[in-house]
Amino acid sequence: MNRERVAIIISAVALTMVFGCAKEPSPDDIVLAKISNSTITLGEFKSRIEKLPSYYRDMVEKNKKRYLEEMIAEKLFYEEALRRGLNNDKEVVGVINEAKKKIVIAKLIKIDVEDKIKVSEDEIAAFYEANKDKLKTPKMWRASQILVPTEREARDVLQKLNSGDNFEDIAREQSKDATATRGGDIGYFRAGQLVPEFEKAAIDLDVGQLSDVVRTKFGYHIIKLTDKKASGMQAYENAKPMIENELKKKKKAEMFYEFIMSLKKKYGVDINTEAFSSMMPESKEEPAGV
């Protein structure tokens, strides 16, 4: 077999390997927009949306074209800024370096502090047992209201209710408050959460009982107490998330302090107290006899 034939065979094999191993085109590689020398691919577009906060992501999902236009505008601004050399502007470089420093520090703290925080089931249980008196649920009341602007309207409403009309229906029809859509339900509340006049009238009721007309700065109310809960000990499972979060915060503060102390020891810190003191305002002495 002559050299030319061998060379042809080798070239053919090489080409087969190159094209045979070529990456299959992906839908994410589809170019949605081309801006000067850059592009926005479908993959880049989807990735940006996935990284958005959930509340903003929902908005973007409903208007993807607008978000694409925002990405295009961003590319255009960046292209123009680079062409003007603004990436080398002293102020810009300073801000970038400061941001970079904060990002790197945040990563360090995450690795050496946050990722190392562990709270065991035993620690949570021990905290629960030791702090039962602090984990009691307060007394809670639940009420519904019908709010109208005048006392006359309130008296008319009260008369209808005493005649057997449905409270929720009247609330939806006549109440001038956002709770009207819920049949007047304001949900559960504890002492000190509502305006005093309303709260006192509601708390004095029995469950299912209607109040007389109650006047507050918001108008005239008819109140119906729908439920009340006595103070009691929180169930362990209900208290557990709060306890775990509290213990993590405490451990984070302790580990953060220990980490700073270890770095001070490792690198050394020397504060010029004389120079620092010279920056502090002088204290004014009080006149004698004062």
The per-residue pLDDT for range 93-102, each reduced to its tens digit, is 999 999 999 9
Burial class (CB in 10 A: 0-12, 13-18, 19+), 182: middle
Judge whether residue 227 has pLDDT over 70: yes
| CA dist 182 → 37, 189, 256 (Å) | 56, 16, 47
Contact of 49 with 55, CB cutoff 8 Å: no
CA proximity to 236, closest of 111, 109, 137? 137
Per-residue model confidence (pLDDT) at position 5? 55
Per-residue model confidence (pLDDT) at position 24? 67
Model confidence band, residue 15 (pLDDT cutoffs 50, 70, 90): very low
Instruction: Copy the structure tokens of residue 210.
Output: 């209607």
CA proximity to 80, closest of 35, 34, 32? 35
Which of residues 95 and 280 earns the better pLDDT score? Answer: 95
CA 163-166-168 angle, 5° bins: 145
Q: Which of 57-66, 143-152, 214-223 has the lowest average pLDDT?
A: 57-66
| CA dist 221 → 146, 153, 179 (Å) | 6, 10, 12
Residue 31 to residue 42: CA distance in whole angstroms: 6
Model confidence band, residue 23 (pLDDT cutoffs 50, 70, 90): low
- Residue 227 region, left (φ>0) first, then alpha (ψ -120 to 50), else beta? beta
pTM above 0.85, yes or no: no
Q: What are phi and psi of 192, to 5 degrees?
A: 95, 0
